[in-house]
Structure 1
């Protein structure tokens, strides 16, 4: 008589990065079912020098990774891309935030494995590439089996979840 074995749970990190409030999400998948482990974000102040804001993001990411990696490694790390802006200063800010997170990841031997466009994330999780933040958060709650009244601390956190979920769906790693 054979017995069904449970698959090992794999952990995925999603990143919704910005200079003002980068969002992080860890989702675990076992038997094709996603489960939210944690979300987080860090706020930086526009009054702080830009270089200090990058340092704050890197430091926060290091602490976040340190805590999360105690529970096990990440199978993949997925980031939402930034469409190039005409104003180079906007590009500089987002790429600085990316670099800060990349430096923290590299200290733990990780790097971003996949980059997804905002429209593909929205389309994959909601069915609409131009979905609003509330629609994305509702789809994330549904896909993760969270209650309707579950509230993320920020849109950055629900967006980071959406990034992971879009990756998992696109790679046929979860049932949806």
Structure 2
């Protein structure tokens, strides 16, 4: 199973691709899509969508996972972030890819074991779990953490489904 993790942002959207086979994870790629702050919002959103479409075409993930964003104290910034998040969720959906969403605390708990972990701890654990991850920016580490969280949740859901099937067969 190939999973694309995404950490939405208008200025920087982190992304990471991993393969999940049972409990084994393998890092494939990670990076950041950046937009230019002095461009109109519509141009920046278009840049973000085009870059994500290129990533989706290149990596062909089976599923995608996106981190929920927190409401910002600045309403204008929150609105722009929400629009970027909409693009981030729309891009995989247009490719027919299921998109899961996770709260930041849920991601931190899945990766570090503590929902209040600091970004440095998350990045360190991502490096430990996925040797070879570049993590040039914290956004890429966060995106890979979202993908790891999704892989863990997916594995658990599959285990429960198998247990239900075994119980029903008895």
TM-score by length of 1: 0.80
Runs of 4 or more off by more than 6 Å in structure 1? none
Equivalent of 1:165, from 144, 148, 154? 148
Report how far residue 99 of structure 1 moved. 2.1
Which has the larger share of helix?
Answer: 2
Q: Which moved more, 1:154-163 or 1:100-109?
A: 100-109
Report how far residue 131 of structure 1 moved. 1.7
Correspondence for 1:54: 45
Q: Aligned pair 1:104/2:76, yes or no? A: no
Q: Aligned pair 1:128/2:114, yes or no? A: yes
Q: Which moved more, 1:23-32 or 1:152-161?
A: 23-32
Cα distance in 2 for partners of 1:77, 1:62 equals: 13
Correspondence for 2:6: 15
Cα distance in 2 for partners of 1:161, 1:97 equals: 18
Unaligned runs of 5+ in 1: 1-9
Correspondence for 2:21: 30
RMSD: 1.8
Cα distance in 2 for partners of 1:40, 1:65 equals: 13
Q: Aligned pair 1:118/2:109, yes or no? A: no
Deviations 1:33-56 (A, max 9, x none): 000111121111221112211111
TM-score by length of 2: 0.83
CA contact (8 A) 2:65 2:147 kept: yes
Instruction: Figure out how many residues of one structure are paired with residues of the other and give that number.
Output: 156
CA contact (8 A) 2:22 2:155 kept: no
